[in-house]
Structure 1
Amino acid sequence: MKPTLETKRLKLIPFELNDLEMLHETFTDSFVRRYLWDNEIIGIEQTREILTTNEELFESNHWGLWKIIVKENNTFAGFAGLWVFFGEDQPQLLYGLRPEMTGKGYATEASSSVIDYAFNRLEFNYLIAACDAPHYTSRKVCERLQMKLVEEREVNGKMTTFYRIDDHG
């Protein structure tokens, strides 16, 4: 069974293939893609591949991307989860919100739930989150999550900041 996570205001449900249009619309939104996709508009087939991989990851590793649903009105707010970047062995924390859902604390709340899941259910010893250096809002989320800035380096021609949190359980 795929894990569903809950917070006071949010429900995090693993994405499924039938979420294709919703996720693709989010990935191609100008606000989201600016930092997530380096402003590239990805094709729907790439989103389909991500969803297929996501289902495989949940099946084999019990982690992936969750859709963030606001309980109060059952509204889709964005995504949070764990994903492998930069060829690393362990997945990183990832989150993104639809523009109208920002400024409400949802990214921090959802990410905190994912962090707890990673430490308490998956038994991770640490978790990394990387974001484009100029993405100050995302950096503030990492800081609110008690993640520490550990490195800033150029990745694929862009300055990237790396935050880390160690098992706090």
Structure 2
Amino acid sequence: MDKNLKSTALKMIILETEHLYLRECVESDVDDFMELDKDSEKIKFMPIPKEAVSREFQLNNIKRLQDNYNNQIGLGVWTAIEKRNNSFAGWFALKHLGRSEDIEIAYCIVERLRGMGYATEMSGRILEYAFMELKLEKIIGLTNPENTASKKVLEKIGMSFNEKKLHNGIEMLFYSIDVKSYKRLHYSPTANISRI
């Protein structure tokens, strides 16, 4: 790899874990994002507009995400890359929930990597980043009531169920964790969740 290109790629890395790293979204991600939005399991739990599978829509979305990196320092939607083979693994996000002040954690993993613990691994790292580096007070997570795997991820990273309510016209489960609970789980002498 060209030295300058490698340097640029490294500067874009946001977070990493044993198996994944996150970087800013770039235009060359467009085909991977399009494929992910065609995934039947994703569509089942995360309804998307029909135009989302178009190249133009995805390119505009990537441009919007890139603009947000400058407007919302520390927050964003990031492309996930599997370290083992440098392949597209999905996306993770730490972002405002709609127009509210609430900050949510969200993700979508490609089908071939589901069930391998990658979502839990990176979501745990994102919480650490949110609380210990960005000094945020509270993070929420939403999931479809039928998405058992996603509920397990949120619970494994220490989030607690709060309520079931409509979000964008869809009934969702709302989970949350605050910084005190996070520190108690991960940094107290009796912590029962290992640091990720």
Matched, 1:11 2:21: yes
The answer as to whether partners of 1:81 and 1:111 remain within 8 angstroms in 2 is: no
| Matched residue SS, 1:88 | coil
Q: In the alignment, which residue of structure 1 is the partner of 2:104?
A: 92
Query: What is the alpha-carbon distance in structure 1 between the residues aligned to residue 68 and residue 89 of structure 2?
Result: 22
TM-score normalized by the length of structure 2: 0.77
TM-aligned CA distance change 1:111 to 1:41, over 3 Å:
farther
| 1:147 matched to 2:142 | no
Note the residue ranges of structure 1 that are not aligned, 5 or more in a row: none
- Cα RMSD (Å): 2.0
Following superposition of structure 1 onto structure 2, how do residues 1-169 of structure 1 map, counting pairs within 5 Å? 2-37=12-47, 40=50, 42=52, 43-60=54-71, 61-167=73-179, 168-169=182-183
Number of residues paired by the alignment? 169
* Amino acid across the alignment from 1:49: N
Q: 1:127 touches 1:166 (CA, 8 Å); kept in 2?
A: yes
Shift of residue 127 of structure 1?
0.3
Q: What is the CA deviation profile of residues 57-91 of structure 1, one whole-angstrom value per residue up to 9, with x for unaligned ones?
A: 21222221122212122222111112333432133
Q: Looking at CA atoms only, which structure, 1 or 2, has the larger radius of gyration?
A: 2
Structure 2 unaligned spans of 5+: 1-10, 184-196
The structure whose RCO (Cα within 8 Å, separation 6+) is larger is 1
Q: What is the CA distance between 1:149 and its match in structure 2?
A: 0.4
Aligned-residue sequence identity (percent) comes to 27
Q: Which has the higher helix share?
A: 2
Q: Helix, strand or coil: the match of 1:4?
A: strand
Spell out structure 1 runs of 4+ moving beyond 6 A: none
Whole-Å separation in 1 of the counterparts to 2:59 and 2:98? 21
Aligned in 2, Cα 1:150/1:63: closer, same or farther, shift over 3 Å? same
